[in-house]
Amino acid sequence: MKTKSIVSLALCLLLVPVTLFAQISRNQSVSSPQVRPGGEVTFRLKAPYAKNVEISAQFLKGNQPLQKDSNGVWSITLGPVKPDIYPYNFIVDGTSVSDPTNTYLFPNENFKASLVEIPAEQPLLSSMQNVEHGKVTYCYYPSETLKCTRPLVIYTPPGYDGDNTKYPVLYLVSGTTDTEETWFKVGRANLILDNLIAQKKAVPMIIVMPYGNMLTGTPAPSTLQAADMYKVFSNDMTKSIIPYVEKNFRAIPDRESRAIAGFSRGGGQSLFTGFIHLDQFAWIGSYSAYLTNEVWDKYFSALSAKPEETNKKLRLLWMGVGNEDFLYKDAVKFIDLMKEKNINYKSLITDGGHTWMNSRHYLSETMQLYFKK
């Protein structure tokens, strides 16, 4: 324990990420995950009665078995792992379990995963660095559309409280089974933007993170049924969320100063909302998402009938997807549709799958484009 405290303090002196610091230095009987310089990481779980413990981690292709010691502590050392932030969980005799001694959790409706950060020599864009930090605020808005109080998580950039400047707003929507906290806790939207602002690579902006679940069940992505759900979302966005934000935060209230983007279901919601309200949004980002030809034809044929007019309004349509994503083919089909319809766009095909590692990557790329002249 003494060695651990010294290691913690040394790390603390280096201004390491709060979350990494949290993972390593909070007091606990079993330390997990333990990340070593170079990217090796040891996971541990005290489970003296378990017969079999495995780990599932998004840097692994399959599950790996842990070994039990005489104190009933199971462990495994893996890596070196490529620097990034990865979800993982244990599987104890067939049941998924988050890491009990890791406070860094993945907010989700359907599973409880933990997160591990593997730091890089050059700090990750998503790591806490020694720069000025914005604030992340939890607040509640009255949803006229859903007739209830709903949560919003809102980032304001460094300096926001010290001036009277108005800022552009990125509305950033998370995916199916995610919550309003996921872009903050897993997506690290706040730290990525802190770092990009410090590097003068992004415009200071407000980020609004709503809860994307419209209580309509989970229709298949981008079907006409999904479009019905997107409509509910669009209504909530324009009738309740935007008015709440522009009343309570110093947001520039014009379309050129509003972007909408999201991951997975949130990407579908963003494409639909952005296109159906081009009067309200000029910037659209789709991370690992798409609309079907069917949805496009039903709702947006007027936009592709006059592409020049549409392109004048659309300051950016950005689409990114990983080549191992289970939505890869559909997303590429939508990119092809935009090409065919002469709608201007930027696209990025990366390695990897339908992951938050990719989602953060796409956010990092697009934050450098939004609201630029």
- Residue 16 phi/psi, 5-degree rounding, is -70, 165
Measured distance CA(311)–CA(184) in Å, rounded: 32
Interacting residue with its own copies among 57, 115, 124, 146 (CB under 8 A): 146
Name the one residue in this structure whose structure tokens are 């592409």: 307
Interacting residue with its own copies among 130, 199, 301, 368 (CB under 8 A): 130
Residue closer to its own copies, measured from CB, 216 or 344: 216
Between strands 316-322 and 283-287, the pairing is: parallel
DSSP class of 48? T
Among the candidate windows 142-150, 252-260, 320-328, 333-341, which touches its own copies by CB under 8 A?
142-150
If one asks whether residue 304 binds its own copies (CB under 8 A), the answer comes out as: no
Orientation of helix 356-367 relative to helix 189-198, angle to 10°: 30
Min dist CB 343 to its own copies, Å, is 32
Question: Nearest-5° angle of CA 328, CA 331, CA 335?
Answer: 130
If one asks whether residue 147 binds its own copies (CB under 8 A), the answer comes out as: yes
If one asks whether residue 67 binds its own copies (CB under 8 A), the answer comes out as: no
CB 309 within 8 A of CB 299: no
Terminal alpha carbon distance of the chain: 54
Interacting residue with its own copies among 81, 97, 198, 252 (CB under 8 A): 97
Min dist CB 237 to its own copies, Å, is 17
If one asks whether residue 140 binds its own copies (CB under 8 A), the answer comes out as: yes
Measured distance CA(51)–CA(233) in Å, rounded: 46
If one asks whether residue 63 binds its own copies (CB under 8 A), the answer comes out as: no
Burial annotation 169-195 (CB, 10 A radius, 16+ → b, else e): bbbbbbbbbbbbbbbbbbbbbbbbbbb
Min dist CB 315 to its own copies, Å, is 29
CB 35 within 8 A of CB 41: yes
Residue closer to its own copies, measured from CB, 110 or 122: 110
Interacting residue with its own copies among 36, 135, 298, 306 (CB under 8 A): 135
Residue closer to its own copies, measured from CB, 5 or 323: 5
If one asks whether residue 15 binds its own copies (CB under 8 A), the answer comes out as: yes
Interacting residue with its own copies among 94, 121, 163, 279 (CB under 8 A): 94
Structure tokens given for 242 = 């935007």
Among the candidate windows 11-19, 273-281, 297-305, 308-316, which touches its own copies by CB under 8 A?
11-19
Interacting residue with its own copies among 111, 165, 199, 305 (CB under 8 A): 111
CB 266 within 8 A of CB 289: yes
Among the candidate windows 6-14, 62-70, 289-297, 299-307, which touches its own copies by CB under 8 A?
6-14
Q: Which helix (H) or strand (E) holds 198?
A: helix 189-198
If one asks whether residue 70 binds its own copies (CB under 8 A), the answer comes out as: no
Structure tokens given for 104 = 């860094």
Residue closer to its own copies, measured from CB, 37 or 94: 94
Helices (H), 218-353: 224-236, 242-248, 265-276, 293-305, 307-313, 328-340
With contacts defined by CB under 8 A, how many residues of the chain interact with its own copies? 67
Phi-psi region of 55 (alpha: psi -120 to 50; beta: other; left: phi over 0): beta
If one asks whether residue 69 binds its own copies (CB under 8 A), the answer comes out as: no
* Upper half-sphere CA count for residue 243 (Cβ side, 13 Å): 11
If one asks whether residue 18 binds its own copies (CB under 8 A), the answer comes out as: yes
Interacting residue with its own copies among 248, 301, 323, 368 (CB under 8 A): 248
Question: Nearest-5° angle of CA 85, CA 91, CA 96?
Answer: 80
Residues that bind its own copies (CB under 8 A): 1, 5, 8-9, 12-16, 18, 21-22, 25-29, 45, 47-51, 92-98, 100-101, 103, 105, 107-112, 128, 130, 133, 135-140, 146-151, 161, 176-177, 179, 184, 213, 215-218, 248-249
